[in-house]
Amino acid sequence: MSSHDESTPPVDAADGSGPTPPSVTPAPGRPGARPPQFDEPTTPTDAPLTSPDQAAAEPRTPTGAVPSADDATTAQQGERLTTSQGARLRDTDHSLRAGARGPVLLQDHHLREKITHFDHERIPERVVHARGAAAHGVFESFGTAASVTCADFLAPGRRTEVFTRFSTVVGSRGSMDTARDTRGFATKFYTDEGTFDLVGNNIPVFFIQDAIKFPDVIHAAKPHPDREIPQAQSAHDTFWDFVSLHTEAQHHTIWFMADRGIPRSFRMMEGFGIHTFRLTNADGETSLVKFHWKPLLGVHSLTWEEAQMIGGTDPDFHRRDLADAIEAGAYPQWELGLQVLPDDPEQMFDGIDLLDPTKIIPEELVPVQRVGRLTLDHNPRNYFAETEQVAFHPGNLVPGIDVTDDPLLQGRLFSYLDTQITRLGGPNFAQLPINRAHAPVNDMLRDGYGQQADHAGVAPYRPNSLDGGCPFTAGADEHAFEDLPVRVAESVRERRNPESFSDHFTQPRMFWASMTDVEKAHIVSAYAFELGRCYETTIRERQLACLAQIDPELCRGVAEALGLPAPKSPDLPDVTPSPALSQVGGTWPVAGRTVGIVVDPEAPDADLAALHEAVVAVSMTPLVIAPVGGTVGGVPVGRTFATGRSVELDAVLLAGAPAPGADAVPALDVKAGAPGAPGTDPRLTLLLEECWRHAKPIGAWGAGRDAATTAGLTEGMPGVHLGEDAFSVLEAVAEQLAQHRVWERFEAPSFSAGGADR
Ligand code: HDE
């Protein structure tokens, strides 16, 4: 028999050990790396999938380096400019022409490569959450979640690498950070059991109860389709038209009309998974769970005026704050917490439907149990490669964590995969470096645009015998992700919400009742601003009718500001305030806060360098401010009165009373036109007025006291610390800053009901 005459399949040896070895040299063309056995394989083998005649491309990084533990090999390598193919170039500044004054030649391959790549540098921005900033970090498990979940990354002592991206929702990629908006808080946990994404927001409820309404709410919130304005704002007619008609949005709306809509920093935001998830422990017992992120720096916000001013002076305020804090070693931290609820068949708790994403479970009823700590300790190296290309997906789940039937979550499970196909240009986005799992991947997904894996084997299908039956599915004891056998209520097919989704006003009322007076005053002003920017009075009136169903005082306050009559409230239910919702009344660490130090270059404070270091020693960031740049007392000037603005500071220290700078020309600069005493730079007076108005602690000593007096600040005024030396004043200011603001300075009207009691 010739070697080409192998018409009969190899037959397994009688003892079942495998195929009978051929007696002659096999003909070329064998489909797999080894002959298949007759029966479907029942155990995985480590047989090679690559035939001896095959080789994958030699492993190289995208820049041609041999991969190594040194991650620099994925950046540029070599000292000389090259083409994308590695050929060295002598000139990249002139195109190839027919003579210096002649036309450009089509043969200029370098020109064409350079311009073609440039022409395709942009990808579509995210449909929502387009503007964001991210950081790498680590999640350390406390080991306290074992009773509710078998997720391995929550086992005692586990450390898991993470990547967290924060974002605004409405604005496009270039919009300002401090717009009034909800913030995204999405974390990718690269666990040993596969990637888990917790894709949440800084507000625990959502606008809508059903995913099918997402295009509606986003179309309403985005700029008007005709003029494409306003950018990154909800203060316009289409938004308020929608939310005043679609009243399930009212709970979310009051949260971001409150100070939560203008966070001081990503580092000072809570995060929420919003939906109820179903967790399983090692014994197969299930619980319903809400995820929370608790920032160790507390929850703090900007004032509305600050947010607007920052939008002009530093539109990258939050992005810069996150990166600077990490660079300075003030690593932001959050604790992951769980509210654990029984998995009863009704999926209700205390009358609250756990499948309704517009409702919270007050922490006073179900405490948040802390199960681990997130620390963000590295900034991305390349914004596009990491922050822009990261692709989150609520369906990235690990054993021990599963979804529920929340109709909003169910729709998200479809959407996040789908959107990446357009945004990241094909189905292989999971292979982009930032999206790669840190667990072994053995899928049967193949080909497609941007394929980077060099798969071996010939049988990406199951069952197969040509690749020895591989890959095998996991056995029952191998900690695989399992779809839980959850009972589905007997029902009919219909487009309808459950009755329990129909109360849209009790929880917004509870939120309002949980606020302190100063927070309530901010909410009234926010509604008044937003509705005041609407063109149509009918829309204002319709939203006032919604506010009347939340609280009569809220409604009256907004109506007065709008100059409209307040509709009468119906009988409203009594609600129990949840003090945990208020941001006022506690003290928190001051790490990572910015302290301005105003100096006089003509008479530098002798302690300036030591003061600077004392600020650094308590993990705050000193920013020296003077009429001109340069160095004062050995310390570099960070801002001049021309380049700086009060809104960058959390507190200000006056170490001198600088005379007006040469550029303090009122005719040229509105800041220099600020009223003040002739001896002091008017821009300093303006800075102090703003710090006062924004309720920031102010400290002064020595000649700095004169600057304070000039601005009308005297000892005994709330949050004004006039002392004898720099260090005692710094101590007093830092102590005050621990409360975030000098709350007594806000003259809030007194509201009757509620108020957080801490
Ligand atoms: Fe998203 N959402 N979303 N969302 N979402 C996206 O995915 C979507 C929802 C959230 O930093 C998109 O990759 C639908 C709730 C965050 O990359 C898109 C619905 C919550 C981020 C998408 C929701 C979120 C997104 C846009 C209604 C809080 C940014 C680009 C069912 C729990 C993630 C992308 C990042 C991003 C769809 C509702 C949070 C289009 C259809 C509720 C933090 O897929």
Alpha helix locations (H) across 486-607? 506-513, 517-532, 537-550, 552-562
Q: How far is the CA of 416 from the centre of ligand 1 (A)?
A: 7
Ligand 1 atom 14: the closest Cα is on which residue?
Answer: 412
pLDDT one-digit tens code per residue, 686-742: 999 999 999 999 999 999 999 999 889 999 999 999 999 999 999 999 999 999 999
Atom number, ligand 1, closest to the C-alpha of residue 166:
11
- 615: tokens are 């600020």
Q: How far is the CA of 411 from the centre of ligand 1 (A)?
A: 10
Q: Give the pLDDT mean for 86-102.
A: 96
Are 614 and 571 in the same domain?
no
Atom number, ligand 1, closest to the C-alpha of residue 275:
32
Q: Give the pLDDT mean for 594-599.
A: 97
Ligand 1 atom 27: the closest Cα is on which residue?
Answer: 211
Nearest C-alpha neighbor of 254 from the set 505, 500, 557: 505
Q: How far is the CA of 432 from the centre of ligand 1 (A)?
A: 20
Cβ-based neighbours of 91, under 8 Å, separated by 6 or more: none
pLDDT of residue 710: 86
Are 313 and 431 in the same domain?
yes
Asked whether residue 752 carries a pLDDT value surpassing 80, the answer given is no
In the chain, how many domains are there?
Answer: 3
Q: How far is the CA of 389 from the centre of ligand 1 (A)?
A: 15
- 7: tokens are 């018409």
Asked whether residue 16 carries a pLDDT value surpassing 70, the answer given is no
Measured in whole angstroms, the distance separating CA 411 from the mean position of its chain's CA atoms is 21
Measured in whole angstroms, the distance separating CA 523 from the mean position of its chain's CA atoms is 24
Asked whether residue 12 carries a pLDDT value surpassing 80, the answer given is no
- End-of-domain residue from the set 581, 609, 644: 581
pLDDT of residue 24: 84
Domain containing residue 244: 132-435
d(CA 357, CA 362): 14
To the query of whether residue 382 is one of the catalytic residues in this protein, the response is no
Residue 732 inside a domain? The answer is yes
Cβ-based neighbours of 221, under 8 Å, separated by 6 or more: 169, 170, 234, 238, 239, 242
Residue 468 inside a domain? The answer is no
DSSP states along 637-685: --EETTT--GGG-SEEEE---PPPPTT--TTT-TGGGS---TTS-HHHH
To the query of whether residue 129 is one of the catalytic residues in this protein, the response is yes
- End-of-domain residue from the set 435, 463, 482: 435
- 24: tokens are 């002659």
d(CA 245, CA 255): 18
Q: How far is the CA of 33 from the centre of ligand 1 (A)?
A: 43
The CATH number of whichever domain residue 529 belongs to comes to 1.20.1370.20
Average pLDDT taken over every residue of the chain? 93
Residue 476 inside a domain? The answer is no
Q: Is the CB of 413 under 6 A from ligand 1?
A: no
Residue 715 inside a domain? The answer is yes
DSSP states along 234-275: --SHHHHHHHHHSGGGHHHHHHHHSGGGSBS-GGG--EE--S
Q: Is the CB of 392 under 6 A from ligand 1?
A: yes
Which residue among 123, 275, 415, 422 is best mutated to probe the pocket of ligand 1, counting the most ligand atoms within 8 A of its Cβ?
415
- End-of-domain residue from the set 377, 412, 435: 435
Residue 25 inside a domain? The answer is no
Are 540 and 666 in the same domain?
no
Q: Is the CB of 132 under 6 A from ligand 1?
A: yes
Kindly indicate the confidence band of residue 69, based on its pLDDT and cuts at 50, 70 and 90: low
The CATH number of whichever domain residue 345 belongs to comes to 2.40.180.10
pLDDT of residue 163: 98
Residue 11 inside a domain? The answer is no
Alpha helix locations (H) across 96-200? 109-119
Q: How far is the CA of 214 from the centre of ligand 1 (A)?
A: 10
d(CA 394, CA 186): 10
- Pairing status of strand 639-640 against strand 635-636: unpaired
Are 379 and 404 in the same domain?
yes
Q: Give the pLDDT mean for 337-358.
A: 96
Nearest C-alpha neighbor of 130 from the set 168, 165, 164: 168
pLDDT one-digit tens code per residue, 622-664: 999 999 999 999 999 999 999 999 999 999 999 999 999 889 8
Beta bridge partners of residue 271, listed in sequence order: 293
Are 656 and 567 in the same domain?
no
- 575: tokens are 């609600």
Nearest C-alpha neighbor of 392 from the set 420, 431, 359: 420
Residue 14 inside a domain? The answer is no
Asked whether residue 73 carries a pLDDT value surpassing 60, the answer given is yes
Are 536 and 602 in the same domain?
no
Are 373 and 521 in the same domain?
no
Are 568 and 602 in the same domain?
no
Are 526 and 575 in the same domain?
yes
Are 701 and 723 in the same domain?
yes
Nearest C-alpha neighbor of 164 from the set 198, 135, 190: 135
Nearest C-alpha neighbor of 402 from the set 748, 49, 151, 225: 151
pLDDT of residue 672: 86
pLDDT one-digit tens code per residue, 32-65: 888 899 999 998 887 778 888 788 888 788 878 8
Asked whether residue 489 carries a pLDDT value surpassing 50, the answer given is yes
Ligand 1 atom 37: the closest Cα is on which residue?
Answer: 415
d(CA 435, CA 316): 25
The CATH number of whichever domain residue 669 belongs to comes to 3.40.50.880
pLDDT of residue 13: 44
Ligand 1 atom 32: the closest Cα is on which residue?
Answer: 200
Are 314 and 418 in the same domain?
yes
Q: Exposure of 431 by Cβ count < 10 A (0-12 exposed, 13-18 middle, 19+ buried)?
A: middle
Residue 401 inside a domain? The answer is yes
Asked whether residue 484 carries a pLDDT value surpassing 80, the answer given is yes
Kindly indicate the confidence band of residue 358, based on its pLDDT and cuts at 50, 70 and 90: very high
Cβ-based neighbours of 12, under 8 Å, separated by 6 or more: 18, 19, 20, 37, 38, 39
What share of the chain has pLDDT > 90, as a percent? 82
Q: Is the CB of 389 under 6 A from ligand 1?
A: no
Beta bridge partners of residue 618, listed in sequence order: none
Prior bond to 498 cis, omega within 30? Answer: no
Looking at 136, 201, 318, 393, which residue is catalytic? 201
Are 659 and 568 in the same domain?
no
Q: Is the CB of 166 under 6 A from ligand 1?
A: no
Q: Is the CB of 592 under 6 A from ligand 1?
A: no
Confirm if 189 and 197 have CB atoms less than 8 A apart.
yes
Q: How far is the CA of 201 from the centre of ligand 1 (A)?
A: 9
pLDDT of residue 62: 81
Q: Give the pLDDT mean for 265-273.
A: 98
Confirm if 196 and 149 have CB atoms less than 8 A apart.
no
Asked whether residue 22 carries a pLDDT value surpassing 80, the answer given is no
Lowest average pLDDT, out of 13-17, 42-46, 471-475, goes to 13-17
Q: Give the pLDDT mean for 83-93.
A: 95
